[in-house]
Amino acid sequence: DADVTQTPRNRITKTGKRIMLECSQTKGHDRMYWYRQDPGLGLRLIYYSFDVKDINKGEISDGYSVSRQAQAKFSLSLESAIPNQTALYFCATSDLSGGGYTFGSGTRLTVV
Amino acid sequence: GDSVTQMEGPVTLSEEAFLTINCTYTATGYPSLFWYVQYPGEGLQLLLKATKADDKGSNKGFEATYRKETTSFHLEKGSVQVSDSAVYFCALGSNYQLIWGAGTKLIIKP
């Protein structure tokens, strides 16, 4: 099994729908992150969490929310999806040093 | 604020050519520096890192040296292979997150 598992791998949804992207990890890391990747823009941080009770907004949190259900689980929600949220979404974890990150394989989300 | 700038792609090379992908940064203090690689259809993987000035990170034939005087962390490989085709990201470690470059797509032709 992968260290960081994201579901679903691909999703097409309609404008205005609520959608949840899920992430689970077996690394035992406390820190978890949600990133968005758009062509030519690199990765942009949406939310991050240093432990179950610690949730923080990143660079582009508007339109998104998260839930840290357990140390191993960190989900990302789009309450009312819009087309410009079409992107590749990555979950990542890191240890306390904040150094090497482990990424999931990504969720490709299309909002039509 | 902290930032990372890397050369725009795509970079197209022939197999066995020498590779350099430039990366420069601006930061307060002395951050850790990273190179990540993203193969088609996959997530990012850590390729190499350096945590202090003059450190050299290396992995799979790739190298990068942390140059404080030029605020650079250029990625090099002496002889590239078709399997090296991917997108390469330079990143800078701050207190709680990585600051990412925009990525450089590398295409290696046989």
Higher pLDDT residue, A100 or B90? B90
> How far apart are the C-alpha atoms of B78 and B66, rounded to whole Å?
18
What is the model's pLDDT at position A60? 94
Interface of A with B (CB under 8 A): 4, 31, 33, 40-45, 48, 50, 56, 58, 90, 92, 98-106
The answer to whether the Cβ–Cβ distance between A101 and B98 falls below 8 Å is yes
Mean pLDDT across chain B: 93
> Which bin fits B70, alpha (ψ -120 to 50), beta or left (φ > 0)?
alpha
**Is it the case that residue A41 has pLDDT exceeding 80?**
no
Helix (H, G, I), strand (E, B) or coil at A51: strand
Q: Residues in chain B, how many?
A: 110
- Chain A residues within 8 A of B2 when measuring between CB atoms: none
pLDDT tens digits, B13-39: 999 999 999 999 999 888 999 999 999
What is the model's pLDDT at position A8? 96
Mean pLDDT across chain A: 92
Beta bridge partners of A75: A67
- Chain A residues within 8 A of B42 when measuring between CB atoms: 105-106
> Which bin fits A106, alpha (ψ -120 to 50), beta or left (φ > 0)?
left
Q: Which two tokens stand for residue A63?
A: 């339109």
- Chain A residues within 8 A of B32 when measuring between CB atoms: 99
**Portion of chain B with pLDDT greater than 70, in percent:** 98
Is any Cβ of chain A less than 8 angstroms from the Cβ of B87? no
What is the model's pLDDT at position B97? 78
